[in-house]
Structure 1
């Protein structure tokens, strides 16, 4: 059943002082809304995050693997894994699993010397982006991002743009909806915005 879970919109935006990841909270099974409270954005380490669009089971499995690898890296090397290294690791895992693939498209984000964002497809292809989207509502989100993104935008502006992109996808994509998870990663680390903060920004 997990392999048939589908539908989401994830968004990533690089800002001057951090990176934003956002996703809706709906999980669909064929034409049925199966859950309205699914988490699709995850903390991998203090300054690393991942958002996933696709099979819920596959996303959670990959998150567990990446968290373990990040902890192992910190223990053996003595420092946090870089964002690029996490993207490369994610790519290697996905590429090596092509016979029995992870059904998902992943946004890898974080802050090392600066905020960074990578898109990793199911076959392991990696692209570094300033902004991106994945999932069933990505076309609608991209329209908002293309129109609203600016280089060196402040984190607060990036938060509002990400929320606007998810909101538009919610209105037009039947598989997107039921709230938003939004996190920021800055030099100060990983932070998830509370429901009240998000509600106030959406109003």
Structure 2
């Protein structure tokens, strides 16, 4: 067979006249399918309140149509003033969280001062951009970043796209497979001037609604006692709610839903 420099022999061989067929057999191998990889985290919600911002995340991780884990944690303290929630490929997401935590700590040690809240949000976007090749192979991670901005003296929150683009949310936010359902509940119930307890109740209501329609969201698992992780950031710093306190709110919500299956028409309960 005659050969030409720079062209594999198969490109000059006889056969199908279809270029699409040629690409299928000789072209670049296909990437990893979008559902490849390990367990995927699901729904994260956040909302502002009178003194800061609250984030909550359900505990379920899925692999396709299979529930992989019932007690995955998806909400973490990034530092003493900010919180990060994760959805997407669970293993990669947790590594991103660890890297972000070390990044903030390293900056503080080297520079002798903390990054501004805006700087933290930008740095998280840069880490996501560095992760883009893996995201294009199906190992996508989407964070929700929130915390207390000392400069603005207010709670703030950002969502991101896989390319690292960041978008500030001014009232509430949701991401993950159940985000559309949770966001609908937040639109109806959220009051930015409410207190912390009321806002936590609203977030748990939104997770209940998400679990009602999204099989990948666990909602309020009273049977196993696995409660959503709830964390708040305010001028006093980041605090994780005790699981027993979360359960008490969850039990009130489930009791109220027994009386009104569709949930509250207005207000937290």
Which TM-score bucket, shorter chain as reference?
over 0.9
- State the SS of the aligned residue for 2:133: coil
Of 140, 154, 164, which residue of structure 2 is paired with 1:103?
A: 140
**Which has the larger displacement, 42-51 or 89-98?**
89-98
**Contact 2:53–2:233 (Cα < 8 Å) also in 1:** yes
Taking structure 1 as the reference length, the TM-score comes to 0.93
Cα deviation 1:160-192 (Å, max 9, x = unaligned): 111111111112210010431111111111111
Q: Aligned partners of 2:114, 2:41: CA distance in 1, in Å?
A: 32
Q: Name the residue aligned to 2:26.
A: none
How much has 1:109 moved relative to structure 2? 0.7
**Which has the larger displacement, 71-80 or 28-37?**
71-80
Cα deviation 1:42-99 (Å, max 9, x = unaligned): 1111111100011111111111110111101211232322322221111111123322
- State the SS of the aligned residue for 1:99: helix
Q: Name the residue aligned to 1:193.
A: 241
- State the SS of the aligned residue for 1:175: coil
Q: Aligned partners of 1:16, 1:84: CA distance in 2, in Å?
A: 21
Q: Aligned partners of 1:29, 1:96: CA distance in 2, in Å?
A: 25
Q: Aligned partners of 2:238, 2:245: CA distance in 1, in Å?
A: 16
**Contact 2:52–2:234 (Cα < 8 Å) also in 1:** yes
Q: Name the residue aligned to 1:76.
A: 110
Q: Name the residue aligned to 1:142.
A: 183
How much has 1:6 moved relative to structure 2? 2.3
How much has 1:18 moved relative to structure 2? 1.2
**Higher normalized contact order (CA 8 Å, seq sep 6+, divided by chain length):** 1
Report how many residues are paired.
Answer: 203
How much has 1:21 moved relative to structure 2? 0.5
- State the SS of the aligned residue for 1:144: helix
Of 29, 33, 46, which residue of structure 1 is paired with 2:63?
A: 29
Q: Which consecutive unaligned segments of at least 5 residues does structure 2 have?
A: 1-34, 222-226, 253-269
Residues 2 and 38 (structure 1), Cα distance of their counterparts in 2 relative to 1, 3 Å cut = farther
Q: Aligned partners of 1:22, 1:2: CA distance in 2, in Å?
A: 26
Q: Name the residue aligned to 2:215.
A: 174
Taking structure 2 as the reference length, the TM-score comes to 0.71
Tell me which structure has the larger Cα radius of gyration.
Answer: 2
Q: Name the residue aligned to 2:21.
A: none
**Contact 1:83–1:108 (Cα < 8 Å) also in 2:** no
**Which has the larger displacement, 90-99 or 44-53?**
90-99
**Which has the larger displacement, 189-198 or 134-143?**
189-198
**Contact 2:100–2:124 (Cα < 8 Å) also in 1:** yes
Q: Name the residue aligned to 1:119.
A: 159
- State the SS of the aligned residue for 1:153: coil
**Contact 1:50–1:107 (Cα < 8 Å) also in 2:** yes
